[in-house]
Amino acid sequence: MRGIIRAFDEAEQELGISARLMIIAQRHRPEEAALELLGAILPWSDRIVAMGLGGAELGNPPSRFVNFFQASRERGFRVVIHAGEEGPASYVREALELAGADRIDHGNACVDDPDLVRQIAERQTPLTLCPLSNLKLKVIPTMEKQPLRKLLARGVRVTINSDDPSYFGGYLNDNFKVCRDTFALTAAEMTQIARNSFTSAFLDEGTKCGYLERLQAYVAVAP
């Protein structure tokens, strides 16, 4: 932790890049291990914004970690849950209804449950879609099957992201470009997706507003 935080500080001082940590509990391990992890990271809580749940989904639903999510929230952390990539729509529903996720990583499978999509849109719970990773991992057979367009049309707060690009290929701009080309996204849609990224980030409102103003200024002069 000290090494990671020191690297964050150096990046901000030397490069102007800021970062905060999200700590991930591995879902194939018991909830007791997640609670132990939560206790272990508390000395650095001022540098941590969220507790997450990651790892192999199948057989490891979010409902196994309800106490962990509750304890994380009680300690002031946001909750982010990986759900609906390889797992079913029911895992996304558990992340939303049982864990009260502030953000859901992936969430692709929610399109199989129209009522769930409606709830996600109404709550404006962000989904972090990772198109090129989905293709590499065979979550989708072709890019056209990525649910970005369907979710965007239904008012879901979708974001476009890279996912371990050194493993799966495709940094952030690559993912934006492939989505633009596959779904014929308009400039307005691309701008909205970029806005979603800032409004979904765990930043203070002043910092968010600063980034949104920069985005708007860029859009105003972009060809």
110: its two tokens: 């929610």
Residue spans of beta strands (DSSP E) within 55-173: 78-83, 103-106, 127-129, 158-160
Residue 74 appears among annotated catalytic residues:
no
What pTM does this model have? Answer: 0.94
C-alpha span between 90 and 112 (Å, rounded): 9
C-alpha span between 155 and 89 (Å, rounded): 18
Contact 118, 89 (CB under 8 A): no
Catalytic residue among 12, 57, 85, 122: 85
C-alpha span between 182 and 142 (Å, rounded): 10
For range 7-22, the mean pLDDT: 95
As a whole number, the mean pLDDT across the chain is 96
Q: Please count the CA atoms within 13 angstroms of the CA of 198 that sit on its side-chain side.
A: 16
Contact 175, 136 (CB under 8 A): no
For range 165-176, the mean pLDDT: 92
pLDDT (0 to 100) of residue 169: 86
pLDDT (0 to 100) of residue 182: 97
CA distances 68 to 25, 30, 114, 147, Å, are: 9, 10, 28, 30
pLDDT (0 to 100) of residue 131: 97
pLDDT (0 to 100) of residue 90: 98
C-alpha span between 214 and 209 (Å, rounded): 9
pLDDT (0 to 100) of residue 135: 95
pLDDT confidence of 223, banded at 50, 70, 90? confident
> Could you tell me the residue ranges of all domains in the chain?
2-221
C-alpha span between 67 and 105 (Å, rounded): 20
For range 178-192, the mean pLDDT: 96
pLDDT confidence of 222, banded at 50, 70, 90? confident
99: its two tokens: 């864990």
For range 12-41, the mean pLDDT: 96
Model confidence at 87: pLDDT above 90: yes
pLDDT (0 to 100) of residue 54: 95
Contact 77, 49 (CB under 8 A): yes
- Taking only the tens place, the pLDDT of each residue in 113-139 is 999 999 999 999 999 999 999 999 999
Residues 6+ apart with CB under 8 A from 193: 152, 158, 159, 160, 176, 179, 185
Q: Please count the CA atoms within 13 angstroms of the CA of 165 that sit on its side-chain side.
A: 8
C-alpha span between 157 and 223 (Å, rounded): 26
131: closest CA among 102, 95, 170, 83?
A: 170
Q: What is the CATH topology of the domain spanning 2-221?
A: TIM Barrel (3.20.20)
pLDDT confidence of 197, banded at 50, 70, 90? very high
C-alpha span between 65 and 111 (Å, rounded): 24
C-alpha span between 17 and 214 (Å, rounded): 16
